[in-house]
Amino acid sequence: MQILHKVAVIARFLNLTERRVQQLAREGILPKPEKGKYDLVRCVQTYVRYLQERAYGSGVTAQDTHIERARL
């Protein structure tokens, strides 16, 4: 059973503005709202995955990042 929340709750939970939450949903990064409300668990999971991909890139492990930083 999923519990849906207003955009204000999602924004506060993710430390984003309401506008940014809406933009991320439009870009397909966050799940689209159902009847104007968002699934909190799915939003958190997809947002964390999005941040991980931005931080580490596709196919790059955390260890590779540390090695590269040490090299520089």
pTM assigned to the model: 0.74
Mind listing the pLDDT tens digit for each residue in 2-14?
889 999 999 999 9
pLDDT for residue 5: 96
- Could you give phi then psi for residue 39, rounded to 5 degrees? -85, 110
First CA to last CA distance, the chain: 48
Kindly report, residue by residue over 29-62, the tens digit of the pLDDT. 999 999 999 999 999 999 999 999 888 876 555 5
pLDDT at 69: 76
